[in-house]
Structure 1
Amino acid sequence: MLWRDGRQSLRRRLMTTLLVPLMVLLLVNSLITYVGALIYANHVHDKDLINDTLTLVQMMATESPDGRVSSQAQFLLEYEPEGRNYFSVFSTRHGLIAGNPAVRPPSGMSHKGDAPLLYDVQIDKHALRAASVLISDTRDPSDELEVTVAETLRDRHQEARQILLLSIPAQALLIIAAFLLVWFGVRTGLRQLDPLTEQLANREHDLAPIGDAEVPAEILPLTRTIDGLFGRLRSMLALHERFIADAAHQLRTPLAGLSVHAERAQSSSDPETISDALNHIQRLIQRANRTSSQLLALTRAQTIAHEAGDTEPLNLTTVIPELVGLRVHEALAAGIDLGYDGSSMPLWIDGDRHRIQEMLDNLIDNGLRYAGRGSLMTVSLAREGNHICLSVEDNGPGVPPNWIERLGERFFRVPGCQEEGSGLGLAIVQRIAEWHNGSARYMAGSEGGLRVEIMLPVCPASKKNGDA
């Protein structure tokens, strides 16, 4: 049902949904009423038919000892305003004595006793209801008389229709009254949404949960869905605000440096000073570029949870060597021996290839930046129970034990480190691991240096197939 502006009306839909069953109920109730009225009419007419049969028997015994029926009595028995009734008197020895010869019960249905036998019969394609009784002939004890009275069913059906027509207005009034009560109930019930609508309308930037208090039980799924949406919006806004704050914090220093060195280049005519200033500007631009890229990566990694379609089965035994191979040339240029050590058996996870690549790139970048020339860096892959361990280990100077616990914090850099960095690389690694329902662990390497282990849950599909 459409409203004036083309939208559907819940009230009209409810009323339409209720009106159709009420009309069906009226039809079913009318049918039941007609059947009940017909049963009642049959019961009354059957009693009258039995009485007519007994009256004919008594009349024959008192007024017609010869078994004949007078013309006046025959007229009264057969008279019907819009049809006719039938009767017959059969003698066992003499055959038909009076009445219509077609009115006779089927063979074997004759009944001798005080109560006549009721049965249905058809004469000239007309359905009749008949009552028959077998009595002794008072004139001839050796003879028996079969007395039968039959009537058409027209009066029965007519009375049933009259009862139905009398009951329909009352039933219709009841249906109308019920419809009005339902309309009033729907209207009153929908008004319970007015406080909730007013509460939401009065909000401007408030994304606090609606809560379950004073909310009808039928509306709870809707309000809880809205609360879930508010929660996701709060998280997105918090991520945006954090990104803006982080960007302002991290880009402040490069921008200030760019301003200083730009002023140096503008105010000096010395080619060496200008060249040095431009070199600083180039490094600061690269630093700002890297910082902004890492901030975007951190923001993407901090999304609450992945949705359907965000992940796919990944065989890390194939993926990780490919990603490591892409960084070999950079490692050679930095004077670092980058290698891979992993199982040949398939190791499957349910993940996002781009995020896995971003995580591994940050781990390798961290080693290339801090391990130093001549160092060894090994990327390993192994199965540990229900998890897959992806580790990156180097034999560089490492991290003092008292600072290892803080690795993975945003903007944290080990005190005394001379290399440039934003302190976001390991934070991105940790967030991507958590996005995959995994975790990141930091520890000292077996030959000094730093070892980072990423624990990722095994893909359930691989368990079923026995591939992992």
Structure 2
Amino acid sequence: MRLFLVILPPLLLVSVMLGIWRFKAAQDTSEELFDRSLLSAALAISRDVSISDGDALSPSTRSFISDAGGGEIFYHVTGPGGYYVTGYAYPPRSEQAVNSDLPSYYLADYRGEEMRVLRMTESKTIGNLSGEIVVTVWQRVSDRQAFARDLALRAIALMGGLIGALTFTIWFGVQVGLRPLNDLQQAIRRRSPDDLGRIRRPVPTEVAGVVQTLNRLFGQVQDSIESHQAFISDAAHQLRNPAAALLALAETLPDVKDPAERALREAELIAAARASARLADQLLSLERLRYGYDGAMTRCDLNVVVRDICQRLAPVALSRDLDFSFEPCPEPLWVNADHVLIGEAIANLIENALRHGGPSLTKIAVRILHEQDRVVVVVQDDGIGIPFDQADVAFRRFSQLRHGEGTGLGLAIVEQVMRTHGGSARLEQTEKGTCVRLELPAAALPLAEEPAQAEPE
């Protein structure tokens, strides 16, 4: 219907304009033809008057002036000297001067009616008199207009019939042309919500791109659903063990009578609860980053953000007699970021090194670099390390290269934080330990800190 309504109004507008033009053209054409008929009648009357010496008009001339297309023609003839020869006694007079040398047309009032008048002067001989005779013929304007209106209405009726036929043809063509889309709509409507397969039925070339886009969207939705299902399955599996441990510790606690043993069990219960809460918090954080992050990005100096995290975790590293160092960039490094998420990512890398570095771990180094339009954070340790060929596995959710503490979410959260900020996270080859490189796009310098241009000498 929309397509039909888009096509039809311009067509109707053109038809109306064409009808108005046709009406005007019919009027102009009829005026020209009727004026020529007046001239023909005047010439015929002048000829008959000259032949019959003013006595009578020929039958053909009488028939012509009585049956003219624009209505009856009236006439008046005066001979040499201005004496009356034949016709009606008093012709219509023009209010303006009339050229006597050429046939002159004008409008005049005759007995209360508007008339179209032709006055023509010729040199003739009537009887024994020679001189100029004046032939005046006139016709009712209302008869002319009625005749022209009849011609125009016939043309408009014909155009109306053509427009009606064309409208039906357009409607039929639109219905037939869009029938494949209607069939496609019915086929999609009959699909179940679980059917996200590709649309394989043939479609018109004009909508092939739309169908390809739908197929791509269906594939993305399918991948998203499978990802969510895998996450729910993994999360349920990962939460089952902490929940079972909490339940077991809670069930054994009432039976413990020894205060020292009870305090130990309570500490274990608190540690298990903290680990479970930490796992749930990491799961929620990861999903929010992947599908629903709506936090505000602010302008911050990455040196300050990383320094605060290092100061918070330094006591833990130093308590284990580790060499813990932080090397900031000499200049401020401005980034547009959520400083809480960036801090969480850096903290995860340092905690991973502390937790999984093993007994060979002796140092952890954090460096910040500025490379062109990128800001780089490097966290390196000399512990057991992650094999470089297993980097993809290390960044997957719930993946653990070795059995031990941890949920397998730390590096996955780090990578997702970097993606959220338009950056990246990757492992770099190193002789010993693990080296993780984080990259973020640098922000423009504040106006107050832009380097001043040297003035010309």
Query: TM-score by structure 1 length?
Result: 0.72
1:441 aligned onto 2:426: yes
| 1:271-420 → structure 2 map (5 Å cutoff) | 271-303=259-291, 315-316=299-300, 318=301, 321-322=304-305, 324-325=307-308, 328-335=311-318, 337=324, 339=326, 341-342=328-329, 344=331, 347-348=334-335, 355-369=341-355, 375-384=363-372, 387-397=373-383, 399=385, 405=391, 406-415=393-402, 420=405
Mapped partners of 1:430, 1:79: distance in 2: 100
The answer to whether the Cα contact below 8 Å between 2:92 and 2:108 also exists between their aligned partners in 1 is no
Moved more, 320-329 or 81-90: 81-90
Q: Which residue of 2 aligns with 1:7?
A: none
- Seen in structure 2, the aligned counterparts of structure 1 residues 60 and 421 have a Cα distance that, compared at 3 Å, is same
Mapped partners of 2:190, 2:145: distance in 1: 63
Give the count of matched residue pairs. 431
- Seen in structure 2, the aligned counterparts of structure 1 residues 131 and 107 have a Cα distance that, compared at 3 Å, is closer
Q: Which residue of 2 aligns with 1:41?
A: 30
Tell me which of 195, 218, 221 is aligned to 1:230.
218
Shift, 1:144, TM fit: 4.1
| Structure 1 letter corresponding to 2:312 | H
- Seen in structure 2, the aligned counterparts of structure 1 residues 156 and 398 have a Cα distance that, compared at 3 Å, is farther
Deviations 1:45-91 (A, max 9, x none): 233212111022213322347xx999xx99x9799999985656586
Query: TM-score by structure 2 length?
Result: 0.74
Mapped partners of 1:392, 1:90: distance in 2: 122
Mapped partners of 1:95, 1:319: distance in 2: 116
- Seen in structure 2, the aligned counterparts of structure 1 residues 17 and 96 have a Cα distance that, compared at 3 Å, is farther
Percentage of pairs with the same residue: 25
Mapped partners of 1:441, 1:331: distance in 2: 24
Shift, 1:425, TM fit: 1.0
The answer to whether the Cα contact below 8 Å between 1:85 and 1:152 also exists between their aligned partners in 2 is no
Shift, 1:238, TM fit: 2.1
| 1:10-159 → structure 2 map (5 Å cutoff) | 11=1, 13=2, 20-21=9-10, 23-24=12-13, 26-64=15-53, 85=74, 87=76, 89=78, 94=81, 100=91, 102-103=93-94, 110-111=101-102, 117=103, 120-124=105-109, 129-138=116-125, 143-159=131-147
| Structure 2 letter corresponding to 1:248 | A
Q: Which residue of 2 aligns with 1:208?
A: 197
Deviations 1:93-138 (A, max 9, x none): x568675372598555733xxxxx4x54232497654445442243
- Seen in structure 2, the aligned counterparts of structure 1 residues 338 and 77 have a Cα distance that, compared at 3 Å, is same
Q: Which residue of 2 aligns with 1:427?
A: 412
- Seen in structure 2, the aligned counterparts of structure 1 residues 320 and 364 have a Cα distance that, compared at 3 Å, is farther
Mapped partners of 2:83, 2:309: distance in 1: 118
Mapped partners of 2:169, 2:390: distance in 1: 72
Q: Which residue of 2 aligns with 1:6?
A: none
Shift, 1:208, TM fit: 1.9
Mapped partners of 2:166, 2:91: distance in 1: 54
Mapped partners of 1:457, 1:187: distance in 2: 54
- Seen in structure 2, the aligned counterparts of structure 1 residues 338 and 346 have a Cα distance that, compared at 3 Å, is closer
Q: Which residue of 2 aligns with 1:270?
A: 258
- Seen in structure 2, the aligned counterparts of structure 1 residues 194 and 462 have a Cα distance that, compared at 3 Å, is farther
Mapped partners of 1:393, 1:236: distance in 2: 32
Equivalent position SS for 1:325:
helix
Q: Give ranges in structure 2 of 5+ residues lacking alignment.
A: 452-457
Shift, 1:430, TM fit: 1.9
Q: Give ranges in structure 1 of 5+ residues lacking alignment.
A: 1-10, 112-116
Equivalent position SS for 1:389:
strand
Q: Which residue of 2 aligns with 1:246?
A: 234
Give the root-mean-square deviation of aligned CA atoms.
4.6
